[in-house]
Structure 1
Amino acid sequence: MSSLVVFALTSFPPVEKDRLLLDVGIALEDGLLLPLFKRGDAVPASRCAVLAASSGAVEVAVVAGARSTHADGRQLLVARHDIGNASHCVAKVRLRRSAVWLTVSSVDRKRSVATATDYNADRPLTALPRPFRFDRAPADDAYWLNDVVVVRIDTLRVGQPSTRDGDVCPEFTASRLWPAAYDLARFLEAHLDLVRGARVLELGAGTGFVGISAAKLGAARVVLTDLPENLPRLRHNLRLNGLDPDAAIPLDWTSSTVFLEEEVEFDLVLAADCVFWPSLFDPLLATFAAIAGGPTVLLAVTHRLDRTKRFFDSLAAKGWTATDLDHPATSANTRVYAMTHF
């Protein structure tokens, strides 16, 4: 695994009263700008983007501008990074009033060290990235959360069916890393006070990415739950990360008033991309309500097919509220919410 860190002192982007006057983001190969910071955002600030290279190397350009394309923007910093056999890299941009920091990190599947070459904000860009597609990642991939934590997961093999009878297979959804899971893990990274020393429960864990991330970020105890047929991959991923496979236990929301043999109170309950099938909306809310204690409940969703709106209508009817935590998303239409019952 490797990281490249570059730094530039600059009078750009313009800042007035500690707020940006232009958008700042990453230049993409299709000519678009992937915005990480919006006009009006306060500085100092730090944001991440997950990027894919079309070859083994990627040039990450931090650009400031007033349009959604990067052609008319100003390059603040460019880093060229060899990501080798990795499927993606993570670019972390930190803005200060008169400085820009860029960290480009990657981990290839063979754990070999990638190399970083020179950087220069004036030369033409030739190897720009594209947004990373989580649903097209290879099996047994590795993902950065920060400069220290790496989570390894085994996902569905390419070529296995994703649909059946006109809808997505449940076993497919449980065996891929989805943007909502990545964004929820990044939210935990940005709010370590929530997770360090906490007793954490993940619902609908799938690959276990969120729960495994919580464990690596310092949770005192993590319990990951899913349907019995999804546990073999989940336990395998726990082993890949040096964690106890017995931390994964079966839980069917449709029959779960009490789902642990011993009553355990949790401080934090996590659910990522668990809002898709309308028939499970009420069982999911009932499971939230059945959990002992008064934990913080975080729900990450990708708004799609109007199903999320139906879920929010259902939760409001049952006395729940969902507060958008305004966490910067790595994928369009993905948000993190705090759930509260009143």
Structure 2
Amino acid sequence: MAEREGSVEPELPLAAGLFADSFPEEARFRFCGHRLSIAQRFGARLGVAAPVWDAALSLCGYFEQQQLDFGGKRVIELGAGTGVVGILAALLGGDVTITDLPLALEQIQCNVRANVPPAGRARVRALRWGQDQELFPDDFDLVLGADIVYLEPEFPQLLATLQHLCGPRGTVLLAAKMREEHGTGRFFHCLLPRAFHVELVQCDQEQNIHIYRATPRGAGPPA
């Protein structure tokens, strides 16, 4: 059972400037028997990368409900923000690469140091969708993302990045708040199916958060 200690998630801001006053905040969570202490550095510099979004917690909860085993798996998280999803994957045995834009890396590194023991395998790297993906392997077992589908102009770059990272046999798990005004549904229902078999594996109607599982079309339909 997941335990959450922290403030209620704010609605997704339209501009980083909404976080005008910089201040740190720590949130504590418990998933899969692990206690997580996650720093959030609210301020104009990090903007939407600062908080732990509810979609990230839904994805962590999905790991727990499904009793997912990350042992021996090569995992990458996109648009990590605080890194909570990738950190949990590392604690569950994954060899994890946690990525975001350069400005968010310091916050992620701080959280990795605070939560992942030295024996854990979690590295932090910058990844700009549609630009840097070729610098990364093309055969990750799992590609993770939480609330990263909200800027329509970036949808083609995100899709290209997912295609590269998965290779022919990888699996994508994406959790998203379904914001109609941001075209989130269009990405999952129209764009992602062009390259992937897409399956809705969890629907939280109260929070309007969906979790999708996707596998490359060349790999056959999801099991």
TM above 0.5: yes
Indicate the structure (1 or 2) with the bigger Cα radius of gyration: 1
**Gap runs ≥5 in structure 1:** 1-46, 51-85, 88-131, 162-168
**Counterpart selection for 1:144 from 27, 30, 35:** 30
With normalisation by structure 1, the TM-score equals 0.53
CA contact (8 A) 1:140 1:155 kept: yes
Taking structure 1 as reference, are residues 279 and 143 closer, same or farther at Cα in structure 2, changes over 3 Å only?
Answer: same
* 1:255 is aligned to 2:131: yes
The correspondence for 1:235, drawn from 105, 109, 130, is 109
Structure 2 length as normaliser, TM-score? 0.79
Equivalent residue number for residue 335 of structure 1: 210
Q: How many Å separate the matches in 2 of 1:284 and 1:255?
A: 10
Separation of aligned partners in 2, 1:194 and 1:323: 20
Q: How far apart are residue 311 of structure 1 and its match?
A: 1.4
The structure where strand makes up a greater share of residues is: 1
Structure 1 Cα separation of the partners of residues 214 and 72 of structure 2: 21
Gapped regions of structure 2 (runs ≥ 5) = 12-23, 218-223
- State the one-letter code of the partner of 2:27: D
Work out whether residues 189 and 217 of structure 1, in 8 Å CA contact, stay in contact via their aligned partners in 2: no
Q: Which residue of 2 aligns with 1:320?
A: 196
The equivalent position to 2:148 in structure 1, one of 274, 278, 294, is: 274
User: How far apart are 1:339 and its partner, in Å?
Assistant: 1.3
Higher relative contact order (CA 8 A, sep 6+): 2
Q: By how many angstroms is 1:341 displaced?
A: 2.9
What number of residue pairs does the alignment pair up? 200
Equivalent residue number for residue 93 of structure 2? 218
3-state SS of paired residue (1:258):
helix
Question: Offset of 1:135 from its aligned partner?
Answer: 3.4
Instruction: Identify the residue that residue 19 of structure 2 maps to in structure 1.
Output: none
Q: How does 1:48-197 map to 2 (within 5 A)?
A: 87=6, 133-135=8-10, 139-146=25-32, 148-157=33-42, 160-161=43-44, 171-197=46-72
Q: Distance in 2 between matches of 1:297 and 1:267?
A: 9
Superposition deviation, residue 257 in structure 1:
4.2
> Is the CA contact 1:183–1:330 (under 8 Å) kept in the aligned structure 2?
no
- Root-mean-square deviation over aligned CA pairs: 2.6
**Could you tell me which residue of structure 2 aligns to residue 308 of structure 1?**
184
**Identity over the aligned pairs, expressed in percent?**
32
Separation in 1, partners of 2:10, 2:71: 29
1:110-140 CA distance string (max 9 Å, x none): xxxxxxxxxxxxxxxxxxxxxx61339x712
